[in-house]
A and B are shown apart, each in its own frame.
Chain A
Amino acid sequence: DQQVKQNSPSLSVQEGRISILNCDYTNSMFDYFLWYKKYPAEGPTFLISISSIKDKNEDGRFTVFLNKSAKHLSLHIVPSQPGDSAVYFCAASSDSNYQLIWGAGTKLIIKP
């Protein structure tokens, strides 16, 4: 039973355009969400997070949007750069259980 779902295994985007990565969750108790970026054979690195009291958080080229009613969050990267090519994971936790629940990841490929 996957509580955090990333339904697109891969996404290809032209350099300079916007990349939009999506994540859906089923547990309404989740109230903290994170996005991580992972290169092959390396550990994930933290990108950006959002608390359920907000619907948007922005950090440079990265913006995360949270739609609580739809149980959906998205990560926008603009403009996309070649170094953004990586696997992106979303993760969620709740106030009752601080352990992170992870999606399966989306591989982002930025085309020159």
Chain B
Amino acid sequence: DGGITQSPKYLFRKEGQNVTLSCEQNLNHDAMYWYRQDPGQGLRLIYYSQIVNDFQKGDIAEGYSVSREKKESFPLTVTSAQKNPTAFYLCASSLSGSSPETQYFGPGTRLLVL
């Protein structure tokens, strides 16, 4: 059955280390998104992509990077430039990203700094 998978469920980062969060979808959606959730706050958009090999910065892109080499995959790298990376990271997808539409979410990855 179709859905969005994220791995790992928990991830630990050391100082100065880059880490990559995986997101895969088999919904045949064109658009994919990465959000960050902090306690007591709504979701904030990091990056989004409406088509393969193209992506746009969201509201809080600094310290993050993404790639979209395949339609099904949208990995997020948290770089050492992100000074406060501890958060719950959510990946989502939607049909096209070019009209008001429902986004569907993966189970999330919790990133912790050692």
Please list the residues of chain A having a beta carbon within 8 angstroms of any beta carbon in chain B. Answer: 4, 9, 31-32, 34, 36, 41-46, 49, 51, 89, 91, 93-95, 98-100, 102-105
Contact = CB atoms under 8 A, between A and B. Distances in A.
Interface of B: 4, 6, 40-45, 48, 58, 88, 90-92, 97-108, 110
Contacts, number: 57
A102 B108 contact: no
Contacts of A89: 42-43
B100 A104 contact: no
Contacts of B42: 4, 89, 91, 102-105
B107 A42 contact: yes
Given A98-B97, A99-B45, A9 B40 contact: yes
Contacts of B110: 41
A43 B102 contact: no
B98 A102 contact: no
A49 to B, nearest CB: 6
B102 A49 contact: yes
A49 B42 CA distance: 18
Shortest beta-carbon contacts, A-B, top 8: A43-B105, A102-B42, A32-B100, A102-B43, A104-B42, A93-B100, A46-B102, A44-B105
6 contacts: A36-B105, A41-B108, A46-B104, A89-B42, A91-B42, A98-B100
Contacts of B106: 43
A54 to B, nearest CB: 13
Contact of B99 (A4, A36, A98): A98
